[in-house]
């Protein structure tokens, strides 16, 4: 690679900074797990109000993702992430309701919505930014850093809320502990905001805006002269080609199928049931698997650990094995995991109660179910978790990337909200009740429903997702058009 006297920027440093947006994604969505038990008692919430506060950030994320494309196109990926960092900080500060603010459920929902907007903006801009600065042979690995950061965010927040809560009495947690848990997010949020000023703008966005010299300088500083020259020519030719065409629309015959494929894949990521497990894990462990309250937090940390470790597998194999094989392998793993859990619950004889007076299954069945749910988490972490973000960041052509990415991510948040709201409804439905209480599915219904969607995912990937590893972003439209024809 050619050398030059321009001060180089380490691409891994840029990637790590940008992926702090993913860490905040995981932290902000995970912090609600550690806080809701206590603020629910503080505000004496009904079940419906608790559910609304828990899911309010998802509505904000929908708004953030839907508007992120327009904002990103106007001010760039970097400045969009700066605004997201500011909103994360405001949300973390306000969700804890400082003493001089009037304490109300509406105000908490307001600050959770602000945090959700930040999540939506970051979830769209961070992986797109990473994809736009990465060389083709490293792009898959670097984009998986984003999902790794999301997973680390969940892991860190589970540990943080544990240590905060464990150091206080239950009454202290009800009065003030949950506030400290929310405020702990200020540390990564402010670090993200500060470090963003040390990374460059996206060269692709700069070239779309006609700032070719600035784009060329950044490409050289990131990739070196030789690779920068090649990247510059490819981006320039792509943009010039687009300029000769009519104004791009996601409804163009050559583009619409790509948007549909990306959006459906994004939605199906949520219909695996991953966030039902992450948001309601404590309820699953206590009410379905029979673990006592003293074991629940340990099981949550176990889930987060498996999630983290298996994300490393995706990171180190996505540019070797490819996107499609990982999705299919992970799909079968998720299916087996949920079927293990579903059949174990369905066939269980609930003959005793736990410390909370809830029916429990015996220890052997509990262990089998736990193995099933860990297999599901691990399989998701090496496939649908990171790989969907890789594909979304690379399949959309330059001319519609911001708009298409916004649509796909907004649809994903809508699906997330739907699953998060309906999961407890299905769990509490008459059909899902224990057979001994007149039900049909013995607590297993949600996992068989998710298993059905996972089968659809495997078939969808096999039929519609081409392998894209090692391809430049400028080659993606040709790949999909060829497949369509």
pLDDT (tens digit per residue) in 132-176: 888 777 777 788 888 789 889 988 988 888 788 888 887 888 899
Instruction: Encode the chain (485 residues) as per-residue pLDDT tens digits.
Output: 344 445 567 888 999 999 999 999 889 888 887 787 788 788 887 767 777 787 888 889 888 888 888 898 889 899 999 999 999 999 999 999 887 778 888 899 999 999 999 998 998 889 888 888 887 777 777 888 887 898 899 889 888 887 888 888 878 888 999 999 999 999 999 999 999 999 999 888 888 888 888 888 888 888 888 788 887 887 787 777 666 555 667 777 778 888 999 999 999 999 999 988 877 776 677 655 666 555 655 677 788 889 889 988 888 888 888 889 999 999 999 999 999 999 988 888 766 655 555 556 666 777 888 899 999 999 999 999 889 988 887 888 777 877 888 889 889 888 988 888 788 788 888 898 888 787 888 889 999 999 999 999 999 999 998 887 776 666 666 666 565 55
Rounded to two decimals, the pTM is 0.76
Q: Whole-angstrom Cα distance, residue 294 to residue 285?
A: 11
Q: Other CB atoms closer than 10 Å to residue 197's CB: what's the count?
A: 9
CB contact set of 81 (below 8 Å; sequence gap of 6+) = 18, 21, 121, 122, 125, 126, 129, 192, 196
Q: Is 90 exposed, middle or buried (0-12, 13-18, 19+ CB in 10 A)?
A: middle
Domain 245-485, CATH 1.50.10.150 — does that match?
no
Residue corresponding to tokens 């009495």: 169
Residues 28, 10: Cα–Cα separation, whole Å: 28
Q: Helical H runs in 76-138?
A: 77-95, 105-133
Q: How far apart are CA 106 and CA 97, in angstroms?
A: 11
**Which residues of the chain are in CATH 1.20.1250.20 domains?**
10-199, 245-485
Separation of alpha carbons 285 and 295, rounded Å: 9
C-alpha span between 393 and 143 (Å, rounded):
8
Q: And the tokens for 164?
A: 């905060």
Instruction: State the Cα–Cα distance between residues 108 and 428, nearest whole angstrom.
Output: 27
Architecture of domain 10-199: Up-down Bundle (1.20)
Q: How far is CA 425 from CA 35, 195, 285, 411, 422, in A?
A: 22, 42, 17, 21, 5
φ/ψ of 36, rounded to 5, equals -65, -30
């Amino acid at each position: 690679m050619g050398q030059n006297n321009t001060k180089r920027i380490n691409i891994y440093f840029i990637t790590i900074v940008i992926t702090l947006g993913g860490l905040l994604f995981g932290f902000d969505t995970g912090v609600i797990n550690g806080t809701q038990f206590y603020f629910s008692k503080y505000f004496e919430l009904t079940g419906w109000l608790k559910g609304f506060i828990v899911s309010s950030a998802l509505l904000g994320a929908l708004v953030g993702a839907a508007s992120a494309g327009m904002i990103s196109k106007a001010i760039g990926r970097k400045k969009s992430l700066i605004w997201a960092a500011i909103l994360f900080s405001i949300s973390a500060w306000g969700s804890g309701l400082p003493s001089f603010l009037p304490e109300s459920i509406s105000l908490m929902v307001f600050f959770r919505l602000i945090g959700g907007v930040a999540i939506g903006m970051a979830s769209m801009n961070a992986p797109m930014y990473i994809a736009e600065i990465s060389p083709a042979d490293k792009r898959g690995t670097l984009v998986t850093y984003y999902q790794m950061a999301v997973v680390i965010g969940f892991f860190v927040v589970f540990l943080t809320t544990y240590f905060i809560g464990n150091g206080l009495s239950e009454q202290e947690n009800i009065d003030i502990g949950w506030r400290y848990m929310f405020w702990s997010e200020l540390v990564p949020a402010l670090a993200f905001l500060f470090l963003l000023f040390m990374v460059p703008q996206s060269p692709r966005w700069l070239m779309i805006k006609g700032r070719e010299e600035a784009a060329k300088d950044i490409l050289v500083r990131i990739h070196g002269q030789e690779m920068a020259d090649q990247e510059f020519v490819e981006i320039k030719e792509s943009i010039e080609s687009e300029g000769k065409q009519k104004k791009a629309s996601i409804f163009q015959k050559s583009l619409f199928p790509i948007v549909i494929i990306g959006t459906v894949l994004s939605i199906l990521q949520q219909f695996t049931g991953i966030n039902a497990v992450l948001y309601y894990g404590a309820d699953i462990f206590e009410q379905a698997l029979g673990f006592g309250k003293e074991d629940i937090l340990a099981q949550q940390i176990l889930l987060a650990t498996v999630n983290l470790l298996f994300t490393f597998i995706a990171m180190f194999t996505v540019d070797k094995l490819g996107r499609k094989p990982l999705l299919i392998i992970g799909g079968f793993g998720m299916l087996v995991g949920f079927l293990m859990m579903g059949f174990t619950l369905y066939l269980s004889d609930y003959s005793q109660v736990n410390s909370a007076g809830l029916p429990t299954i015996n220890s052997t069945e509990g262990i089998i179910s736990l193995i099933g749910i860990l297999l599901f988490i691990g399989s998701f972490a090496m496939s649908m978790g990171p790989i969907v973000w890789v594909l979304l960041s690379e399949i959309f052509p330059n001319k519609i990337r911001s708009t298409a990415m916004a649509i796909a991510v907004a649809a994903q948040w809508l699906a997330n909200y739907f699953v998060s709201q309906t999961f407890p409804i299905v769990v509490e439905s008459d059909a899902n009740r224990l057979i001994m209480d007149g039900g049909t599915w013995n607590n297993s219904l949600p996992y068989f429903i998710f298993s059905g969607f996972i089968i659809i995912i495997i078939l969808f990937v096999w039929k519609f997702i081409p392998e894209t590893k090692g391809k430049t972003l400028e080659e993606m439209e040709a790949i999909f058009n060829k497949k369509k024809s």
